Chain A
């Protein structure tokens, strides 16, 4: 009896295994969206664009990071409306489960509609909440097109570059959807998102190169734009540098790459960055900075004063005076410390002017409250413009022998 019932149970259990075979789907029956772009629409409220990895172009082959990309787009008042319009003309189903990044145009971000727009879509579309968020100065669709150069055909490259810039140069912040919702729901800090732009000169250069290769006379066209005011040659036309600062849900302004470095430093997220300092006599000092300890933030919620102390290890990579290391304790350290503090103050003044608590002083202030109702009554965002912050920097010289800083 026991054996019979076990065999019956087991066979029923095994039969369940065939359930998955009843509605099988091939890989190329799905269009996997890698990025979503959100622009302002003409007929409808928004223009949603989707960058897909083109699985149909190489069916039968393994899909790798070099797969070509396809960009689709349709206008809609919501992302659902846009998808409905799109799928009407697609031979496959759109899957958003692999979406890596959401690119929002500054026009949409400045209207403050991002939070509402995305919160509706996420649960229903199965987008991972860890998806990265980027603001583009210009059109999100154009940015996605800019990623389609033959040498770097997909978005993985851009994300890699963004991450590298964040980790190695400190010129952009990072933001994902989870942290963005935390910023807008709790109001304990404001979001700072990576800022992407297009350097149209790169396109012009590539066109000229192609003409030259084809034996034609290359035209001397110059599209007028550059990479944050500096002429760049080669690479992708899209680039990530600087931060889009938010005041709640609304994008309030931007920081350039240099200012962003100090924002990331104040937040304690800087892994490595280079700074160049010019002595009054014209000599240059290039230093590699690393943060050896998280900044110490002390705060007084009643008098609205805060003190931020950053801890940096300095590795002198270039010193045209030839005396910086020798004179480190005699003056270089103080001069450099004062320079970093002035930059931190400048960055904070910009953030405060935009009413954006991108550094996250609200997080520190909230630690003083056990009861959430009292924290809400305190109304941090209304008090933030009156906050006075002092910065200080503790610098130590990198010691090549022990690999550690030397005070």
Chain B
């Protein structure tokens, strides 16, 4: 009996889990210097990338239903064979882990920059990794129920955070929209941006048993993707209305700097540090989802008997990488390059196996039907 600790989760829990993890991954893991280098278009391509990933996943889910595959892993097996499916899912697992690293290192950097400026990074790292590992250790039910507890609250705080500096928003800052990138460049950004959302959606589509059926998975994926896309759209729009691309390319996590353009500051607006800690709750859930998801997929492929050693290994590796990134200059450079590479080319490793699996499953099915 494989002990994957996936349990059973409901629709609201699933939507909260996906909404929070997709939002945090899209809001806190990219480099401003790259994202805003060619203009202020993040409010277009980030939500569009979530919706594109959702579109791809919705198609895969429809095919799963048509070919009576129990979950996405089964569709992969049907289309790519056991070996091919294993490789494809291990790639998703690796990308999920890379997103966990990006999210934890990114937020440790934010905590250091905006709150604990004089503390060493190494001291901050465990505060982010330990609670995430604790959530992941408890399994999917623990993560999903925590997500449901905080989901609405986090969305409310986020909206409040976006409303408060409303006086400083100026439409002219959104224009000029881009600097010589063109429609093709924007389309490529949308496609590349799916590396943030597609791994989580693929992981969710492999959870048919935990989500009590493919129909529920479809509803959860649809709900989570739309919630995350809407929140990301509002967030990036607020950021774009506050800063110009020239300023944004030099700002670290601009979401926490929205009140800096205001001329009239009040005490309420100086509580931005508190907002960082509230958002930290979402980030912890996001990291836990990625950590658990990576362990879950690798355990299913490798048929490991217990998921916990995998989670523990992932957590220790995550801690080591986070610590090394900030405490060793050479590792920092290497990891930053690796993250940029994943953000640029990671989508190929997700879309190619997914399309191949769907296409191949369709061909095999047709061949089988003809034979019969």
Contacts and interface: CB of A to CB of B under 8 A. Distances in A.
Contacts of B175: 366-367, 369-370
B179 interface: yes
A182 B39 CA distance: 15
Given A186-B246, A372-B39, A176 B178 contact: no
Interface string B244-255: 111100000000
B264 interface: yes
A370 B261 contact: no
Interface stretch (B68-76, B126-134, B320-328, B329-337): B126-134
B137 interface: yes
B127 A366 contact: no
B130 A13 contact: yes
A280 B134 CA distance: 81
Given A186-B244, A366-B172, A367-B175, A178 B260 contact: yes
A9 B247 contact: no
Contacts of A275: none
B371 interface: no
A386 interface: no
B152 interface: no
A185 B244 contact: yes
B262 interface: yes
B170 interface: yes
Nearest to A186: B244
A145 B123 CA distance: 41
A186 B130 CA distance: 43
Contacts of B131: 13
A129 B179 CA distance: 26
B265 A130 contact: yes
B77 interface: no
A366 B176 contact: yes
Contact of A176 (B171, B176, B263): B263
A393 B262 CA distance: 28
B145 interface: no
B75 to A, nearest CB: 34
Interface in B155-198: 170-172, 175-180
Contacts of B137: 9
A363 B172 contact: yes
B130 A374 contact: no
By size class, the interface of chain A is: 20 to 34
Contact of B123 (A19, A363, A375): A19
A367 B130 contact: no
A157 to B, nearest CB: 17
B11 interface: no
A13 B130 CA distance: 7
Contacts of A181: 247
A311 B108 CA distance: 49
B257 interface: yes
A367 B170 CA distance: 11
B134 A97 contact: no
Interface string A360-388: 00011011011111110000000000000
Given A178-B261, A182-B244, A186-B246, A369 B176 contact: yes
Nearest to A128: B260
A163 B264 contact: yes
A396 to B, nearest CB: 24
Contacts of B171: 367
A261 interface: no
A129 B251 CA distance: 11
A178 B247 contact: yes
A185 B246 contact: yes
A188 interface: yes
A175 B261 CA distance: 9
B321 to A, nearest CB: 19
Given A130-B259, A130-B261, A370 B178 contact: yes
B172 A367 contact: yes
B178 A16 contact: no
Interface string A167-180: 10000001110110
Contacts of B134: 9, 13
A126 interface: yes
Contact of B262 (A130, A185, A366, A369): A130
Q: Which residue, of A16, A369, A371, has the highest number of chain B Cβ atoms within 10 A?
A: A371
A400 interface: no
A374 B177 CA distance: 11
A12 interface: yes
Contacts of B230: none
Contact of A372 (B123, B178, B243): B178
Contact of A129 (B39, B172, B257): B257
B62 to A, nearest CB: 37
B316 interface: no
B275 interface: no
Nearest to A184: B246
Contact of A370 (B177, B246, B259): B177
A61 to B, nearest CB: 22
Nearest to B182: A371
Q: Which residue, of A364, A372, A375, has the highest number of chain B Cβ atoms within 10 A?
A: A372
Contacts of B177: 370-372
Contacts of A126: 117
A371 B244 contact: no
A372 B261 contact: no
A371 B263 contact: no
Interface in B209-264: 243-247, 257, 259-264
Nearest to B259: A130
B259 A373 contact: no
Contacts of B179: 371-373
Given A12-B130, A97-B117, A188 B172 contact: yes
Nearest to A365: B172
A9 B129 CA distance: 12
A181 B243 CA distance: 10
Given A370-B175, A372-B39, A363 B263 contact: no
Top 7 A-B residue pairs of the complex, sorted by shortest distance between their CB atoms: A372-B179, A372-B176, A174-B263, A185-B246, A363-B172, A129-B260, A130-B260
Interface of B: 39, 117, 123, 126-127, 130-131, 134, 137, 170-172, 175-180, 243-247, 257, 259-265
29 contacts: A9-B130, A9-B134, A9-B137, A13-B131, A16-B127, A97-B117, A128-B260, A129-B260, A130-B261, A163-B264, A176-B260, A176-B263, A178-B243, A178-B260, A185-B244, A185-B247, A186-B244, A186-B246, A188-B172, A367-B171, A367-B172, A367-B175, A371-B177, A371-B178, A371-B180, A372-B176, A372-B179, A372-B245, A374-B176
